[in-house]
Structure 1
Amino acid sequence: MAGVVNIGPVEFVHILDVGTNITRLEVGPQRLMCLNNEKLEAGPIPCVIVPPGHYCRIKDPMSHYEKGQQCELKHGQVEIRFHQDPFPLYPGEIIEGAEDLQAFSTRGYKKAIHHLPVVKVNQAIQLKAVLDHEVDGVQRLAGDLWQLEGPLTYKPTAEAEIVGWVNPAVIGQGQALHLKAKQGFTDKDGVTHVSGEEWLVRKEGAYLPGVYEEVVQLVSAYILKQDVALHLLAEHSCRDALGKQRQAGEEWLVTVDDTEMYIPEIGEKAVQPIKKIVLEKGQYCTVCNSVNADGRAQLGCEELRKGHTSFFLHPGELIKDGIKEQFVMAEDQAIVLQASSAFKDDSVPGGPVKRTPGDLWMIKGPISYIPPVQVHVVDQGNGALVRRAIPLDDMEGIYVRNLKTGEVRAVMGPDSYLLTEHEQLWEKELPPLVLTILQNGGGHGAGDIRKLAYFESSMDADYAPGKIRDKTRVVRYRCPGNTAVQVYKYQEKTARVVFGPDMVILGPQEDFNVLSLSAGKPKVENALQTICLMLGPDYITDILEVETSDHARLRVRIAFNNYFEFEGGNEQSEKSIFSVPDFIGFACRQVGSRIRGAVSRVRFDEFHRHSNKLLQGAVFGFDADGNIKNRLKFKANKLVISNVDIQGIEPVDLTMRDSLIKSVQMAIEISTKSIERAAAHDAARKEQESRGLIDRQKLLNEKEAEQQRAKLFELQAEAAAIESTGQAKAEAQARAESLLIECHSAIDSARLKAQADEVIHESELQSRNLLRMSELGYKRRLNETEINKADELCGIEASRFDAMVKALGASTIAAIASAGPKLQAELLESLGIESTLIMSGDNPINLFKTAKGMVPSAGNL
């Protein structure tokens, strides 16, 4: 255990006496010899240095220290030490932040030394009492909180600990600080607050919250403008920011007339900013639940406000149906009004009129009108409030219904019609079939029907497919020429007939008589729906199946002309043409039955030879002289058939059809063969003539070929001679040109090689020159650097020597010069100057001699 311990200045060690188990403190500088019963416990350790403005905390401080004696430690206590001379740590003492004493020699006490807390202006430090103590004349109990406001430098104590720092809350213009009490206390202004109480601080500047004050938020003021107000709500009974007492649930407005900026007090809630309602000229609105002069809402009351004006909607007020424009009506416009409550109407010329609830009246233009709150404008059914006169052109009309009597009538143009207050437009419904027929111009059918093209000229844009029909407009139809349309009036159970070309106008209780006609070949019932009856002359086509007396079944295509023959102006005669709904099917059935009856009495050969005469006789019949009549008239509907024509006849039986086809084919084959034989004879003759011409031409071609062959042989001989001479000449010329090219290439190669060598030599010469120049420059700069260095060293030595001489002083140098060599050396060593030679250039100068030379004689001192 024995050993030597070197303790430097400002260091200490702890030595443990193993026998007595007492640790002593040794402070340097000293060399300590440890005895056999002693042990180096810790150290050497640097002493603790607390700079100015710093402090450290010592745990378990020593209460009384006597060397070699057992000492007392204040266990569990802390001692604060501030700036003082370096001090050691007694055995058992611990410095907070550096508990490992053995590490002090390397790391020091950086973590254990703390700056003294500096509290700035408008700043505070919060403290908490750890022990009961008295500070600045105030008794503090453990757990008490308080704070110190700056500016100051706080010296920590062992009885209190730093809880935190308090920074100021800056309250700007138009701001307030919302605070809350953590517990009951009295603030710096002497106001007592209870726990949980909230309040606002409105004074501008920096505010330092107290220890029991909690900053909730920084509240900004609401900026009030001429057109912006603030809607406020009292969450509980309180006094508002303007000093007025408010009850819980009360709502009110704050405008710019009250204050320019408003910060809601605790208990007030800013619901929303309210924009000012501006009514321009010609605008009005109805305000419900209007507020009276006392600021209380009158529930259920309505107030009419007209422009020019502006106002804020108070809490509880609302605008009914928004801001409206006044009714500006022209001469052809009007509005229908209805009274909701009794009042006196002053808007009527001639004095006020007493209106009772439910009264209905109309105001016509030109006028501008704003209805009072007791009146509402009757909607016209399509969202429009203004009733306009409906312009009607010629042959245009509308259906109008009287609300009092229920009567519906059609009003026709040309004119403009304004509905009265007891009238409204009536919509006439049409069956889907009738609407489809009108969209197609008067007829509708499936398949290829010839008569549908007749209705294209009567298509009306009002009934175009995809367009929504105005049901209030009268139904009209442009009846084509030479046609008739029957209209039935259900109310009177009568019918009328309109002949084209004319416009059919339907009354409110009228409808079209729809005809279902047969169409197609052969005829199909109900294939064509139409409202037009074509009066003719027209024709009808059909396909009939007949059977002869020899049981030959034939299919006959017939066509017969038809027209209606009636007495114009006679109502009964005109209506009779519609007595048969399907006049086409009726006529085809009548004609077909007559034709089938006539054909069944004759044989096929006779029918085939006299078919036209036979069919006309069957349809029209014979007069007393046995001649065929020229027409057939049906008394039921005045239909007249004037002519019958056969368009085609073909057998129904397949065997008979095949026999007819074979006979026709045989006749065709016979005629075809005769034509073929005549054509073959003509072709053979033409072939012989062509063959002779070909042989003659062949001989002529052979002759010309022989002549051309002789010329070819001559040309081949000439070409061979030219080829033999040309090849030799070409080879010689090629060899000469080859030698010439080789010579030229050798010359060019030599020239290029010489140029390349010259370039290489020049580049080597340039590189050597550059290398030498760079070496010369480098050496020049090196020499200049050495010279500059020597000059600077000389200057440094001179200045050093000068400074040394000034530091020594004249008396010291004189003493050195007058002393002996040994004494001179000792003097110089004590002054920290070595007895060396100072080199200045190449001449060494002895410092002693230099001192002697610098010091004048004794007589001169």
Structure 2
Amino acid sequence: MSRKIIGILPNYYVHVLDLNTNITTVEIGPQNLVLQDNHSLEAGPLPFVTIPPGHYCRVEHPIDINKPIVDGKLYELRFGHREIRLHGDPFPLFPGERLPESGSATDYSRAIKRLPTIKADHGIHLSALVDMEETDTAPARKAGDEWQLRGPLTYLPKPEEQVVKMVSPIIITPGHAVRLRARQAFTDAKGIYRCTGEEWLVRDIGAYLPDVYEEVVEEVDAYTLTPNNALHIRANCNFTDQFGRGRRIGEEWLVKYDDTESYIPDVTEEVVNEVQLTVLSHHQYCVVVNPLGDDGRPRLGCRELRKGPKTFFLHPGEKFERGIQDAIILESDEALLVTAQEEFDDITEDGSKVHRTPGDRWMIHGPTDYIPRTEIGNIQRRKATPLNENEGIYVRNVQSGQVRAILGPQSYLLQAAEELYEKELTPLAEEILKEGGGVGDASIRKIAYFDGAKDPSLFKGNKRDKTRVVTYRCPSNCAVQVYNYIEKTARVVFGPDLVVLDPHENFNVLSLSAGKPKKENALKTICLMLGPDFISDHITVEASDHARLKIAVSMNNEFRVERGNPESEAMLFSVPDFIGFACREVASKVRGKVASIPFEQFHKHSADIITAAVFGKNADGEVNKEVIFTANNLVITNIYIQSIEPIDHHMRDSLSKSVQMAIEISTKSIERSAQHEAQRTEQKAKGELERQKLQNEKEAEEARKELLELQAVAAAVESSGQAKAEAQAQAERLLIEGQSAIELAKLKAEATRIEMEAELTCQTKMQEAEVQFLREQNELQIKRAKDLSKIEVSYTLFTLPFRTVLEFGFGEE
């Protein structure tokens, strides 16, 4: 039978299994173990477990060494138990025991751990794995209980306890706090009972170690308060704040610099925002809505005026109505129209008291600065309107409704019961004023007459200022009728003059015929031209032999009016279309006369016939010199025939041929005459040209002669000047070289002198230094000899008595 011998070193062990009894034993070295046939090596040789000082290990399934089964040799394993072993003698592991987290059977470094060391103000968070009985050093614990040990200490682990974590302290500095939450109901370190989920702040400066049932929510920084800011706080529940004031849920208030320099809101407080200091300067004001009352609550619906200079904080619930505003600065030509919206007693500018009721309006005149009261609603700034001569504005009294025109030259400021009135004109009147008095086709001759009457100041851009007095520059020898629709009267203004409309006046717009032949309503105007003027028209007539003709006539016309006589002036505008009226009357007379005579007679005496038809004849048979229309005092003083054209094509062709032949004959005559005149002018021009050529050649030769003379003089001057310049330059060069040589010699001599002087000075200095050195060296040697001699003399005097004493035998004593 084979045997096996196992050598076990000191502090080593093996596990041997007895196959007969099924018992595993531990053999410890040093020894040579002989295994029998019924023995089996289960483990080893393995080193003892050695725990250094300050370390521990955890053993699972340990044996109960206090309860041996047989004579202190057989032990049972406590499965599921753990045992903590500290520093001591090395020990082997019994069969079944094991070290958790060990790397291998022979390497126990990972299983052996350092004892936890808790520093001061730190802690270790523990929990109970099983129920623990009360001891002298610890109370009874239930499984799942948690507690904390504070340092400084070294924690000795127990198998019934589990380390949850190491707890570090929270450093609370001035101006900081820690917000905590209770994980479950407990009593904190200050003896205050905390409910589950309750939150609170810890403000104590220093290191704070949270309890096991305290959860750190956040670290809270204090708000730094200055005289320029404050905190808007809202209460989340009923409580008493840090200043001892009771607060109700939802209440809001301010914490200012006067209360504290730094503020940490409690958990029951919510910081709404940071409020900045409101500063009002001397000329500033503001209106605060819902101001704070004496009881500390906002007066809802109220308004408070605050004037500068002043500083304040807006309390919760307060707000600006329109922000910070500057005081209204009024100049001497400005004023404010104010309206009272509440009843109050006011002090006027002269110092008297006036009771104001809602709706009252009054003026505050400048120069001054004005801050409106809260009882005042609408504020309107008014500035005096400067009015030049012939300028004005329309003003309406809001109480009486009366409208009047204020004319310059003056500066007018509206009163409290007045406002600007906008005078409306018809669109046609607006357009007529913009165009200078008349509108129509550009081909109408009279349109150009109105360009000089345009007033650019009446229209700004394309719009008219309706509050400004309407004016029109009536041209010379013209008339404008203005109608007052309130008084139902009309007045006539003769030019040149400025028409100024009163608030209830308007222009009488005339619709005149224009064009050839005349077209009704072709020209719209407010200006009636009194003349002398002329009217042109085309009249279609038919002779007694049925020859139809188109006659172009032009008539001189004018109006005869007695200025100052209202009836005579009114007659001017009694006929709205005086041009059409006059043309119709003249055409009627011409047609009646031409219809009674044949074409041939009319063609020969057309001017006399038309003049007699229009003007008529007097009792003596003579043609009148003018015709007067009594309806409007229009006078036709003359009539001219511009052209007569037959409407029939054949007649027009015959007249055209005869006219062409006459024109051709006249043209040829003029052409011959012009040709002869041209030839004569050509010959004369040729002679003048030849004469001018000869004169030019003569002048050119004289100029050439002068040029040659000047060139010869210039050549002589150039040659003599060059030689002279070269000689002068050579002399100057030699002079400069000589002077340079002299200067160089002087400089060299000076340099030699300076070098010699420097060398002499250097030697002198060296000799003086050497003499000085020898002198000082000699003085030092003399001094040294003197000192040595003094020392020798002193030593001789000191040693002489001592030697004498020794000689007499006193030295032994």
Normalising by structure 1, report the TM-score.
0.67
Unaligned ranges ≥5, structure 1: 677-861
- Partner-residue secondary structure (3-state), 2:178: strand
Q: Do residues 260 (structure 1) and 255 (structure 2) align?
A: no
- Do the aligned residues in 2 keep the contact of 1:4 with 1:31 (CA within 8 Å)? no
Residues 415-449 of structure 1, C-alpha deviation per residue, up to 9 Å, x if partnerless?
Answer: 22233322222222222222222222222234433
Aligned 8 A contact 2:512 2:579 in 1: yes
Residue equivalent to 1:475? 470
- Aligned-pair distance for 1:486? 1.0
Provide the residue aligned with 2:270 in structure 1.
269
In the alignment, which residue of structure 1 is the partner of 2:122?
Answer: 123
Aligned to 1:813: none
Matches within 5 A, 1:221-370: 221-299=222-300, 303-326=304-327, 329-347=330-348, 349=350, 351-366=352-367, 370=371
Aligned residue for 1:379, secondary structure, equals: strand
Aligned letter for 1:435?
E
User: Which shifted more, 490-499 or 78-87?
Assistant: 78-87
CA distance in 2, matches of 1:187, 1:528: 105
CA distance in 1, matches of 2:668, 2:303: 111
Q: Is the contact made by 2:59 and 2:100 (CA closer than 8 Å) also made in structure 1?
A: yes
Contact 2:512 2:521 in 1 (8 A): yes
Q: How far 1:626 moved relative to its partner? A: 5.2
In structure 1, C-alpha distance between the alignment counterparts of 2:429 and 2:41, rounded to whole Å: 127
TM superposition shift of 1:496:
0.7
Q: Tell whether 2:412 aligns with 1:417.
A: yes
32-41 vs 493-502, greater mean Cα deviation: 32-41
Matched, 1:519 2:523: no
Does structure 2 conserve the Cα–Cα contact (< 8 Å) formed by 1:241 and 1:264? no
Q: 1:567: how far off? A: 1.7
Is 1:379 aligned to 2:383, yes or no? no
Q: Could you list the per-position Cα deviations for residues 744-789 of structure 1 after superposition, in whole angstroms to 9, with x for gaps in the alignment?
A: xxxxxxxxxxxxxxxxxxxxxxxxxxxxxxxxxxxxxxxxxxxxxx
Equivalent position SS for 1:436: helix
* Other structure's SS at 2:232 match: strand
* Deviation readout 1:389-417 (Å, 9 max, x if unpaired): 33222112222222332211112221222
Q: For residues 715-730 of structure 1, what are the structure 2 equivalents within 5 Å?
A: none
1:244–1:652 distance in 2 versus 1, CA, 3 Å:
same
Judged with a 3 Å threshold, the aligned counterparts in structure 2 of structure 1 residues 248 and 349 are, in CA distance, closer, same or farther, namely: same
Q: Which residue of 2 aligns with 1:218?
A: 219
Shift of 1:312: 3.1
Shifted more, 656-665 versus 458-467: the winner is 656-665
- 1:258 CA drift (Å): 2.1
Q: Distance in 1 between matches of 2:62 and 2:312?
A: 79
Distance 2:499 2:116 in 1: 109
Distance 2:514 2:192 in 1: 109
* 1:209 aligned counterpart, secondary structure: coil
The answer as to 2:100 corresponding to 1:96 is: yes
Please give the residue correspondences for 1:330-729 in structure 2 after superposition, counting only pairs within 5 Å: 330-347=331-348, 349=350, 351-366=352-367, 370=371, 372-373=373-374, 375-376=375-376, 378-380=378-380, 384=381, 387-464=382-459, 466-549=461-544, 553-601=548-596, 609-624=604-619, 628-650=623-645, 652=647
Matched letter for residue 206 of structure 2:
G
Query: C-alpha separation between the residues in 1 aligned to 2:199 and 2:451?
Result: 88
Q: CA separation of 1:139/1:638 partners in 2, compared to 1, >3 Å: closer, same or farther?
A: same
- 1:567 aligned partner, one-letter code: E
Aligned to 2:188: 187
Asked whether the equivalents of residues 53 and 83 of structure 1 are also in contact (C-alpha less than 8 Å), the reply is: yes
- Give the C-alpha shift of residue 142 in structure 1: 1.0
* Paired residue type of 1:181: A
Task: Note the C-alpha offset of 1:456.
Answer: 2.0
Q: Distance in 2 between matches of 1:22 and 1:588?
A: 156
SS at match of 2:490: strand
Count the aligned residue pairs: 664
Does the CA contact (< 8 Å) of 1:540 and 1:584 recur in 2? yes
- SS of 1:137's equivalent in the other structure is coil
For the pair 1:76 / 2:80, whether they are aligned, the reply is: yes
Distance change (3 Å), C-alpha of 1:539 and 1:90: farther
Structure 2 distance, partners of 1:178, 1:109, is: 44
Query: 2: CA distance between counterparts of 1:602 and 1:195?
Result: 133
Q: Per-residue displacement from partner, 1:529-584 (whole Å, max 9, x unpaired)?
A: 22212222233334444455555555544433332222222111112111122223
Q: Any idea what SS the aligned residue of 1:591 has? A: helix
CA distance in 2 between counterparts of 1:293 and 1:57 reads: 73
Of stretches 225-234 and 394-403 in structure 1, the one that deviates more from structure 2 is 225-234
1:167 aligns with 2:168: yes
Equivalents in 2 of 1:353, 1:662: separation in Å? 99
Q: Which residue of 1 aligns with 2:726?
A: none
Q: 1:674 to 1:174 in 2, by over 3 A?
A: same
Paired residue type of 2:259 = D
- Partner-residue secondary structure (3-state), 1:133: coil
User: Which segment drifts farther, 222-231 or 477-486?
Assistant: 222-231
DSSP 3-state at the match of 2:502: coil
Residues 346-404 of structure 1: CA distance to partner in whole angstroms, max 9, x if unpaired? 4464754445555444444455555555x526533xxx2xx433322211222222233
Assess, with a 3 A threshold, how the Cα gap between structure 1 residues 470 and 38 changes in structure 2: closer, same or farther: farther
Structure 2 Cα separation of the partners of residues 3 and 615 of structure 1 = 175
Q: Alignment RMSD, CA only?
A: 4.4
Distance 2:370 2:125 in 1: 74
- 1:161 counterpart SS class: strand
Partners of 1:608 and 1:34 in 2: how far apart? 174
Alpha-carbon distance in structure 1 between the residues aligned to 2:91 and 2:147: 33
SS of equivalent to 1:138: coil
Query: Which has the larger displacement, 190-199 or 328-337?
Result: 328-337
Alignment partners' CA distance in 1, 2:46 and 2:544: 153
Contact map agreement 1:178 1:217 (CA 8 A) in 2:
yes
Unaligned segments of structure 2, at least 5 residues: 672-813
* Alignment partners' CA distance in 2, 1:671 and 1:415: 71
Q: Within 1, Cα distance between the matches of 2:145 and 2:191?
A: 20
Using the alignment, how far apart are the partners of 1:419 and 1:70 within structure 2? 125
Partner amino acid, structure 2, of 1:96: P
Q: Secondary structure at the match of 1:139?
A: coil
In 1, are the aligned partners of 2:342 and 2:376 still within 8 Å (CA)? no
Give the whole-Å Cα distance in 2 for the aligned partners of 1:600 and 1:495: 44
Residues 252/659 of structure 1: CA separation in 2 closer, same or farther (3 Å cut): same
- Following the alignment from structure 2 to structure 1, what is the Cα–Cα distance between the partners of residues 62 and 338? 102
Q: How far, CA to CA, are the matches of 2:669 and 2:76 in structure 1?
A: 161
2:341 touches 2:377 (CA, 8 Å); kept in 1? no
Distance, in Å, in 1 between the alignment partners of 2:109 and 2:443 is 112
| Structure 1 partner of 2:782 | none
1:452 partner SS: helix
The whole-number CA distance in structure 1 between the counterparts of 2:625 and 2:30 is: 165
Whichever residue aligns with residue 519 of structure 2, its letter is V
Within the alignment, does 1:132 sit opposite 2:127 as a pair?
no
Structure-2 change in CA distance of 1:672 and 1:533 (3 Å): closer
| Displacement of 1:489 | 0.3
Query: Is contact 2:458-2:465 (8 Å) kept?
Result: no
Q: How far apart in 2 are the matches of 1:534 and 1:399?
A: 30
CA distance, structure 1, for counterparts of residue 396 and residue 198 of structure 2: 74
Could you say if the C-alpha distance between residues 591 and 6 of structure 1 is closer, same or farther in structure 2, counting changes exceeding 3 Å?
Answer: farther
Q: Is the 8 A contact 2:121 2:209 kept in 1?
A: yes
CA contact (8 A) 2:6 2:35 kept: no
Q: Structure 2: which amino acid aligns with 1:164?
A: K
Query: Is the 8 Å Cα contact of residues 241 and 263 (structure 1) preserved in structure 2?
Result: no
